[in-house]
Amino acid sequence: MIQLVIFDMDGVLVDSERVHYERRKRFFQRHQFQLTDQQLDKMVGSNANDIWQALIPTDTEKREQWLTIYREDVRAHLMDYDAIRDAQMIQFVQWLHQKAIACALASSAPRLLIEKCLADIGLTQTFDAILSGEEVAYNKPNPDIYLKTIEKFPLIPKHDILVIEDSTIGIEAAKKAGLTVAAKETSFTKKVNMDQSQADIRFIQPEELEHHYFQEN
């Protein structure tokens, strides 16, 4: 019986992955970085540090300069998360909360963006634990953020935990932590040919999860 559901944020609670994708694409074009669509696709679900580590692996000073410029661009284009909310997923979180099933959020995003998103979509007080990729040594696809999240629920065994992800690296992180993963399929994940093959189940509507995992609750 599922006692804890851990949510990713971007692409799960809000349709923000496509917004991040287009912003990154414009940024790289504006600064004359020649990136292929495949390179952009692989950045989905990643974080700024890992993106720039991959782009500029050896020149630390240059990488830090571009990382600063990139982060300034992110802050200059903060999105209205309420406008891109997934109403059904938000209702699902609220349904779990009402049924006293623990909910946590584990996102690669900076804490600033997590707090803005939850405020915009009205879930600030809903989650029992919230972790940002800034708070772990190694971000997704490493399992650190999920391992640190489940440490906050020591009485819940791993087999009673469900993770909801959308990106390849997020799914990989959760599986490395030994957790069951449900992958959310969207028009965007199909557009970028997101590999969700490691997930235990794929779904489009959260009602599918209710029927599959929560009929006993």
Q: Show pLDDT as tens, one digit a residue, over the chain (217 residues).
A: 999 999 999 999 999 989 999 999 999 999 999 999 889 988 988 888 899 999 999 999 999 999 999 999 988 888 999 999 999 999 999 999 999 999 999 999 999 999 999 999 999 999 999 999 999 999 999 999 999 999 999 999 999 999 999 999 999 999 999 999 999 999 999 999 999 999 999 999 999 999 999 976 4
* Cα–Cα nearest to 63, from 72, 54, 76: 54
Contact 174, 144 (CB under 8 A): no
Alpha carbon of 51 to those of 25, 70, 71, 113, 147: distances in Å? 13, 10, 12, 17, 23
Tokens 């996102």 sit at which residue? 107
* Cα–Cα nearest to 152, from 131, 138, 124, 183: 131
Sheet holding 102-107, edge to edge: 129-132, 102-107, 4-7, 161-165, 180-184, 201-203
DSSP letter (8 states) at residue 181? E
Structure confidence at residue 216 (pLDDT): 60
Residue 154's contacts (CB-CB under 8 Å, 6 or more residues apart) are none
- Strands (DSSP E) contained in 139-217 are 161-165, 180-184, 201-203
CA distance 40 to 104: 28
CA distance 105 to 6: 5
Structure confidence at residue 161 (pLDDT): 98
Query: What phi and psi, each to the nearest 5 degrees, are found at residue 45?
Result: 85, -5
Tokens of 78: 């903060």
